[in-house]
């Protein structure tokens, strides 16, 4: 059956209108889905307090310059849509970090503590048992204050193939905290994601932030 040009153009208009309606409908579904997720993700009137605690890897060395902060806490904050307090102190050891953490816990009373310490201790060839003991005290202080702990491991220095020091997985098993294995090790193994041998660049920190973001979605 032949159709006229007028009927042909009318059919095209109907098809495009249908496609447009379908596209708009799908976008609304996605938007509503995101809204539902964030409404159930946390109470907007009382959002969780999240503190990232550690040394230069938390501070964001390698991705902070001219007032631009591309540390993993800053990028995680944007992903979550809420404030992530950066308590990173370059050069800090786990040995000194415990005393500072106690004060941070009292100041912020965080719902979630992201803990990343021990790298500077290993660079100073401190015994793993001593590092583990300091981290264990930090975890204990955090859990006793009511914080959920997310533990990030740090690779052992001077290794051909970077991997987290065993003490981190041991701690996670013994203390029952969430551990994100090889988070920094994988990033620092890729030269395109590093600023120097021991610090990620902005892209590297973005990958770390994304991994923590996914973990927090499961935690809350």
Whole-model pTM: value is 0.80
Model pLDDT, residue 45: 74
Q: What pLDDT shows up at residue 44? A: 65
| For residue 74, pLDDT beyond 60 | yes
* Gyration radius of the chain's alpha carbons: 23
% of the chain exceeding 70 in pLDDT: 79
Q: What is the pLDDT of residue 157?
A: 86
DSSP letters for 168-197: HHHHHHHHT-EEETTHHHHHHT-GGGEEET
10 Å CB burial of residue 175 (0-12, 13-18, 19+) is middle
Task: Determine the pLDDT at residue 66.
Answer: 78
Q: What pLDDT digit, counting tens, does each position of 159-214 carry?
A: 778 999 999 999 999 999 999 999 999 999 999 999 999 999 999 999 999 999 99
Rounded distance, CA 180 to CA 177, Å?
10
Q: How confident is the model at residue 77 (pLDDT cuts 50, 70, 90)?
A: very high
Q: Are strands 84-88 and 50-54 parallel, antiparallel or unpaired?
A: parallel
58, 88 contact by CB (below 8 A): yes
* Topology of the domain comprising 45-219: Rossmann fold (3.40.50)
- Pairwise CA distance, residues 165 & 162, whole Å: 9
By the 8 A CB rule, do 73 and 52 touch? yes
């Amino acid at each position: 059956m032949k159709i006229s040009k007028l009927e042909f153009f009318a059919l095209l208009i109907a098809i495009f209108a249908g496609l447009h309606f379908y596209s708009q409908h799908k976008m609304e579904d996605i938007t509503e889905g995101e809204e539902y997720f964030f409404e159930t993700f946390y109470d907007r009137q009382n959002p969780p307090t999240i503190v990232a605690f550690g040394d230069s890897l938390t501070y964001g060395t390698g991705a902070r310059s001219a007032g631009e902060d591309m540390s993993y806490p800053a990028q995680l904050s944007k992903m979550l849509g809420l404030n992530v307090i950066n308590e990173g102190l370059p050069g800090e050891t786990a040995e000194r970090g415990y005393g500072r953490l106690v004060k941070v816990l009292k100041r912020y009373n965080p719902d979630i503590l992201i803990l990343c310490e021990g790298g500077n201790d290993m660079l100073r060839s401190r015994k793993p048992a001593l590092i583990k003991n300091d981290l264990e005290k930090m975890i204990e202080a955090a859990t006793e204050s009511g914080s959920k702990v997310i533990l990030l491991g740090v690779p052992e220095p001077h290794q051909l193939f970077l991997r987290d020091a065993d003490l981190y997985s041991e701690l996670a098993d013994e203390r029952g905290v969430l551990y994100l294995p090889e988070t920094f090790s994988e990033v620092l193994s890729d030269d395109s994601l590093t600023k120097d041998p021991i610090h990620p660049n902005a892209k590297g920190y973005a990958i770390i932030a994304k991994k923590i973001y996914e973990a927090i979605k499961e935690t809350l």
